[in-house]
Amino acid sequence: MSEDPENVEKMEGDSAKPDRMFTLKKWNAVAMWSWDVECDTCAICRVQVMDACLRCQAESKRDFYGKQDCVVVWGECNHSFHYCCMSLWVKQNNRCPLCQQEWSIQRMGK
Amino acid sequence: MKSLNNIVIKNFKGLPKMPETFFNDGWKKLKIGVQAIYTSQPLEQSFEELYRIVENLCTYNHGRFLYVNLYETTEIHLKSELLPSISKEIDFLGTMNYAWVTFCRQINTIKNIFLYLDRTYVLDNHCLLSIWYMSLSLFKENIVLNGFLRPKLIDGLLYLIYQERQGVVVDKNLLKSLISMLTTLQVYDMIFEVPFLHATEILYKTEGENLIQNYHIVKYLQHVDQRLKEEHVRVINYLNSYTGITLKDVLVHQLLTPHLKTILSTGVSELLEKNILNETGLLYKLVGLFPSGRNELCTAFSEYLKKRGRLIVIDPENDKNMIQDLIDFKDKVDVIVSECFENNFKYSEAVRESFKFFINQRHNKPSELLAKFVDGKMRSKDLSEDEIEDILQKVMILFRFVQGKDVFEAFYKRDMAKRLLVGKSTSQDAENSMISKLKSECGGGFTSRLEGMFKDITVSQGINSAFRQHLNHVYSAGDGSKNLNIDMCVNVLTSSYWPNYPSYDVNLPQEMALYQNIFLKFYMASHSGRKLIWQPNLGHCIVKVEFTCGKKELQVSLFQTIVLLLFNNNNEIPYKDIQEAINLEGNELQRTLQSLACGKSRVLQKTPKGKDITDTDFFNFNDDFTDKLFRVKINQVQMKETVEEQRATEESVIQDRQFQIDAAIVRIMKQKKTLTHNLLITELYEMLDIPVKPADLKKRIEQLIDRDYIERDHNNSTIYKYIA
């Protein structure tokens, strides 16, 4: 991060030539985000991890698009599921449904 | 014994005898009196004396003779005096009426003289009529029902009525009096009503047949209404009230029912087309007079709607105006239903049904156009909040009729995405209002993505202000004002909510790539587990530039921007070099260059000149560019893309539908276990609110059989079984 300002400065220096015709003033960029997962469906509920899990959809939680409740969770094995699906799953069986490794959370989406 | 009081009791000498002539004398006097009354001569004796005579005669049991004699005298009077005098007259009806009125007055007097007879003898003999009724009955038998007078009387009455119907002024009092005579004599039903109704029937039968051909529908209806009113007045004026009902029936059956077909088949569509409200209302009122009328009118009404509506929908030439036309049509029809049809529920139902029918005459297109129509209105700057709200309400009404709401959603989403990303939406309130309308119509599932899109935009605004602070904070150490001359904001969108856009991997200028990276790091710091895919095709920029004519700001797309920025280092660049430098796919690059060098605002110049871009072209900066405005928007060349976009949207809808069909099949089969092909298809059509062809359904069934969800019965291949 620390080298970025220098870079910017250098670039600005380069482009500040007097014969420069076009200058970018404002930039409205667009990006799509999605969960950084290897498999885009949740193996437990078979719904895309980008969407809310079946249970949340059925309950049609007023705020389910807020993703507060239906985030993604990654295990140490790097498999990913809906957090809701997984928390129900581990109550029965504390193993990853895909690779049978002991389940422990590596990180959670937010 | 002393006889103090000699009281002798003698026998009666005999009763005092009435003189033999007592009755005859009495009657003689009475007869003279009665005859004098009938002939309107002065009386020899006073009423008082006559009354006494009657009283005396009755007291002495001569009641019977009195009654019989009075009867005879009256009969003779009627037969030999009244009858010939009436028959001779030219003004027959007038004389008849005069005779009747006079006779009534006369017998009223006679009745008073003979009151004692009425009170004693007649009262004791129940089978006898009172003097009043006896006289009336004699009048009836001898005058009214006289073989010669009766037809003359009836024909006369009917002729008078005929004349009045033709518009001649006639003596209504005469009619009234004579007809009330018939009623009093209790022969109204028997000798008058039947011929009257018959004459009415014949008259209006011919009239109806005549006028329906010669009159315009409007005039005909007015005429019928006029006739009905006239006959109503006639009943009030001089007919018996109970005739009114039958009379109305006769009219309806002669003037309306036989011509209903003609009226409904040609007339209705004309009335409706020309929006003639009064007569349409009148027609509704008239057909209400007979049982099936309203239903038949309703059928004709819905046929008209279907025919007319279909014309709006079916013509591809009219696509541009279809929705506005439909809204106008709906408005017009609503007014008709409320103004003319009393908001009859059946008629509103017919409207709904007809709209549903004709709107879906063309699959998907109305849905698509509806979405685009809303888009147009949302972008429009000249509509007030109220106007937009009003339009949205009307759009929703149409939306309810449309099958294939998924098509609407797909197109609406695409258009809304554009509005949101470009900031083209005029009113946030209107957008919200539309979403909440869709939500209440189709449920939260339908709009969750659309709502998510809004949320993304709001969230992005927060992210951007945080990002700006972040930039200021981190980079203010150096010469901040110099470093931060690009105002970058990013809309971070949730990929599952938004339409799918093609992704491009273009080379950004170093400066921009740097900004992009700073943002990426900033974003990831607060949102772990996510990845960002940049959508350069959706980005847009403002670029400052100095021409000979002065400073300008160009409003351009990201692609246009990166092409323009290349010219900072070179004055003339060949096509190939541009492509190499920014690595943009050929078609897209050509469109971009075309917009810059061949469009309305030519910031670049192309050699050789021409409309199309080829690999061998050269481009250079157009120093002489001029424009009235300071900020110039350079439109993208978009035509082709829109067609492709449209196809892509349609395709994605069709894809989604397959899942819907599959789900419906499985749901039905799971419930029914076994079902024949035809029944399954029927159930499917009931469950699916989207236009599908039977062939498509078949294909999906086959698919499910292949995937072992259902199987064919071994014995009967038209029966499907669910595999649990």
Tell whether the model's pLDDT for residue A4 goes beyond 80. no
Residues of A in contact with B549 (CB under 8 A): none
B508 Cα to chain A: minimum distance (Å): 12
Tell whether the model's pLDDT for residue A64 goes beyond 70. no
Tell whether the model's pLDDT for residue A66 goes beyond 70. no
Tokens of B352: 């709904």
Distance CA B517, CA A7 (A): 12
Buried/exposed code over B668-689 (b: 16+ C-beta within 10 A; e: otherwise): bbeeeeebebeebbebbeeebe
B492 Cα to chain A: minimum distance (Å): 5
Give the pLDDT band of residue A57 (cuts 50, 70, 90). confident
Residue in this structure with the two tokens 């015709």, named with its chain if needed? A21
Residues of B in contact with A30 (CB under 8 A): 421, 490-491, 493, 534-535, 538-539
Distance CA B64, CA B27 (A): 12
Q: What is the pLDDT of residue B327?
A: 92
**CB-nearest partner of A22 from B482, B530, B543:** B543
Residues of B in contact with A109 (CB under 8 A): 527-530
Q: What is the pLDDT of residue B14?
A: 66
CB contact under 8 A, A22 and B565: yes
Q: Which residue of A has its CA nearest to B532?
A: A33
The 3-class SS string of B324-338 reads HHHHHHHHHHHHHHH
B171-207 pLDDT, tens digit each = 888 888 888 888 888 888 888 888 899 999 999 999 8
Low-confidence residues of chain B: pLDDT under 50 = 479-482
Hey, which residues does B541 pair with through a beta bridge? Answer: A27, B556
CB contact under 8 A, B568 and A22: yes
The 3-class SS string of A87-108 reads HHHHHHCCECCCCCCECCEEEE
CB contact under 8 A, A34 and B531: yes
Whether A90 contacts chain B with CB within 8 A: no
Q: What letter would DSSP give residue A24?
A: E
Residue in this structure with the two tokens 């981190």, named with its chain if needed? B474
**CB-nearest partner of B545 from A1, A5, A22:** A22
Give the pLDDT band of residue A67 (cuts 50, 70, 90). very low
Residues of A in contact with B504 (CB under 8 A): none
CB contact under 8 A, B512 and A24: yes
Residue in this structure with the two tokens 């050269």, named with its chain if needed? B618
Distance CA B471, CA B240 (A): 99
Give the C-alpha distances (Å, rounded to integers) separating B567 from B102, B270, B458, B482, B551.
122, 67, 36, 22, 17
**CB-nearest partner of A30 from B479, B535, B544:** B535
Domains assigned to chain B: 22-146 (1.20.1310.10), 363-442 (1.20.1310.10), 539-641 (3.30.230.130), 644-722 (1.10.10.10)
Q: What is the pLDDT of residue B714?
A: 85
Cβ–Cβ < 8 Å for B690, B406? yes
Helix (H) or strand (E) holding B607: strand B604-607
Q: What is the pLDDT of residue B130?
A: 86
Tell whether the model's pLDDT for residue A11 goes beyond 60. no
B645-666 pLDDT, tens digit each = 777 777 878 888 888 888 888 8
Q: What is the pLDDT of residue B642?
A: 66
B496-519 pLDDT, tens digit each = 888 888 888 888 888 888 888 889
Distance CA A5, CA A11 (A): 10
Q: What is the pLDDT of residue A19?
A: 55
CB contact under 8 A, B530 and A31: no
Q: What mean pLDDT is reported for chain A?
A: 75
C-beta atoms surrounding B643 within 10 Å: 10
Q: What is the pLDDT of residue A10?
A: 39
A positions 18-77 inside 8 Å of B (CB): 20-36, 48, 50-51, 57, 60, 64-67, 71-72, 74
**CB-nearest partner of B530 from A4, A26, A34:** A34
CB contact under 8 A, A25 and B516: no
Q: What is the pLDDT of residue B393?
A: 92
Distance CA A33, CA B634 (A): 29
A105 Cα to chain B: minimum distance (Å): 13
Closest to B634 measured CA to CA, from B566, B543, B549, B506: B543
Q: How many CA atoms lie within 13 A of B719 on its CB side?
A: 9
**CB-nearest partner of B567 from A4, A22, A30:** A22
Q: Which residue of B has its CA nearest to A6?
A: B478
B352-361 pLDDT, tens digit each = 999 989 988 8
**CB-nearest partner of B511 from A4, A15, A74:** A15
**CA torsion, ordered B98, B104, B105, B107, to nearest 10 deg:** 140
Distance CA B477, CA B98 (A): 126
